[in-house]
Amino acid sequence: MTTPSIIIEPAAPIAAIATPVGVGALAVLRMSGKGVFDIAQKVFRKKNSPAFRFAQSKGFRAHFGTVHDSDGLIDEVVALVFRSPNSFTMEDMVEFSCHGGPVVVKHILKVLLDEGCRLAEPGEFTRRAFLNGRIDLLQAEAIGEMIHARSESAFRTAVTQMQGPLSLRLDAMRELLLRSCALLELELDFSEEEVEFRSRTQLHQELADMQEELCRLIDSYQHGRLLNEGVSTVIAGRPNAGKSTLLNALLGEERSIVSHMPGTTRDYIEECFLYEKTMFRLTDTAGLREGGEAVEHEGIRRSYKKISEADLLLYLIDISANNYLDAVIQIQAFMEQYPAAHLIVIANKTDLTPENAERTHQLRAATGCDVCAIAAARGEGLEDLKHLMSMIAEGLNKQQEASVLVTSLRHYEALRNASDAVENAQELIKNQSGTELIAFELRSALEYIGEITGKVINEEILNVIFDRFCIGK
């Protein structure tokens, strides 16, 4: 493990397509690293300015011209110049905006590679920005989350994190831990003289304040996870209750096979569904029943596993069946077994019985749950169901106003480890334990916090983070 530092010598030049591959009005190719101005000079000719030199251009300047290879003209482009250190990577950079045809883009990329660039690896531009001190690891991850955001809430959360509020809080904690460790280490050097450079009473109070802050951040993960990943929503019920029909109706497409034969769904199917600003991760599960053959049994086992992980459980009942009240026992069992999941009972197939209002009322009285009456096959009652789902999701999201949210499992686990170390240090101080033991726990907390922001670098963690990025980012 090492600590990142400013790279004085620019790295080898890299190039990549920064826009999605395909037919479009425009495409962008970018270069970064040592010698990119010389490479750009070899392939670019500025209109009406034969004496133009990239090396003499000011930063943040656009130049209109053409790109050529050995066979002649490739395309008219706009070349953007970014001079180190005032660029995204803090290296010299050049971007070419060209016409968006895949053949055009391929030709320009090839000529850049032929002239000395290496094809960038996934996330390498952002990785260089991090290693050169332009952003910390939290902000780098926020860029990836912003690119992959599938809802307005996830996007806004990523934008906030990219601005660095969580980094500031963690840096403040790290500074306190660094100062405390240094003073405790100094005490060890003067152990024979029994001096105390760090007041244990003051340190205990400061660690208590830090522990409160760590707990707030840890508690915010549930909210941050819902914004970032979506509300885990499982559709459950007995065979032929209409689970697959409901999934298709919510998605607006035929995603799941619908059949009158019971046991058609043998495994769960997952799809994302966006309603207003909330992302729901819908899971259609195998029908819950006794009996059936081995494959169906495995599907049911997986269904129960998904139910145990759900934030929101939609339990479907065929309200047109004479034994519709038999499901009450299973619903009550679910409520006891999975208290963390919010449950909506859905009375489906209301179009097949004239007694749907009375039966819906009986279900509501028997279960004490929210009951929503629908006819999934006809799309009736779906808006009421979506509204109810949205209200529950809003309740899941509501907590104390916080400008900082933890959205990553990696951050959550590191914060928990840091919290445990701080708690151990407090206990050691309370018991008047040795300085070396207290210092060990504070160093552990320091390392866990440093892993989040990238002050302590783990190469394996970096590879996992940046491999999620596209090539040109």
pLDDT for 289: 57
Write down the domain spans for the chain. Answer: 14-134, 147-225+408-453, 230-397
What's the chain's average pLDDT?
Answer: 86
Q: Tell me the residue type at 49.
A: S
Residue for token pair 């205990």: 204
The residues near 311 (Cβ < 8 Å, ≥ 6 apart) are 226, 231, 232, 233, 340, 341, 342, 396
The Cα 310–Cα 426 span in angstroms is: 36
Sheet strands (E) in 25-146: 26-32, 44-46, 61-69, 72-82, 93-99, 118-119
pLDDT at 442: 95
C-alpha angle 355-361-365 in degrees, rounded to nearest 5: 145
Res 10: pLDDT: 64
CB 287, CB 243: distance < 8 Å:
yes
pLDDT value at residue 278: 84
- For the segment(s) 14-134, the CATH number from 3.40.50.150, 3.30.1360.120, 3.90.226.30, 2.60.40.10 is 3.30.1360.120
- Pairs from 304-309 (Cβ < 8 Å, separation ≥ 24): 306/234, 306/268, 307/234, 307/236, 307/334, 307/338, 307/341, 308/337, 308/338, 309/232, 309/234
- For residue range 298-329, what is the model confidence (pLDDT) as tens digits? 767 777 788 888 889 999 999 998 888 888 88
Instruction: Give the model's pLDDT for residue 256.
Output: 56
Q: Is the peptide bond before 20 cis (omega within 30 degrees of 0)?
A: no
Give Cβ neighbours of residue 48 (< 8 Å, ≥ 6 apart).
none
What is the model's pLDDT at position 153?
77
Structure tokens at 74: 């490739």
Number of H helices, E strands in the chain: 15, 13
Output the CA torsion sign for 29, 30, 35, 41.
Answer: positive
Q: Alpha-carbon distance 341 to 337, whole Å?
A: 9
CATH topology of domain 230-397: Rossmann fold (3.40.50)
H-run or E-run covering 232: strand 231-237
Residues 423-441 pLDDT 10s: 999 999 999 998 899 999 9
DSSP 230: -
pLDDT given for residue 291 in this prediction: 53
Output the CA angle 301-307-313, nearest 5 degrees: 145
Q: What is the pLDDT of residues 127-137, one digit of tens each?
A: 999 999 999 99
pLDDT in tens, the chain (473 residues): 444 444 445 689 999 999 988 898 999 999 999 999 999 999 999 988 988 999 999 999 999 999 999 899 999 999 999 999 999 999 999 999 999 999 999 999 999 999 999 999 999 999 999 999 999 999 999 998 888 887 777 888 888 888 888 999 999 999 999 999 988 988 887 766 666 788 899 999 999 999 999 999 999 888 888 888 889 999 988 888 888 889 989 988 776 544 454 444 445 688 888 888 788 999 888 766 555 555 556 767 777 788 888 889 999 999 998 888 888 888 888 888 888 778 999 999 998 888 888 988 988 898 888 899 999 999 999 999 999 998 888 777 654 445 688 989 999 999 999 999 999 999 999 999 988 999 999 999 999 999 999 888 777 777 877 887 877 77
d(CA 310, CA 326): 23
Please determine, looking at this structure, whether the domain spanning 147-225+408-453 carries the CATH number 1.20.120.430: yes
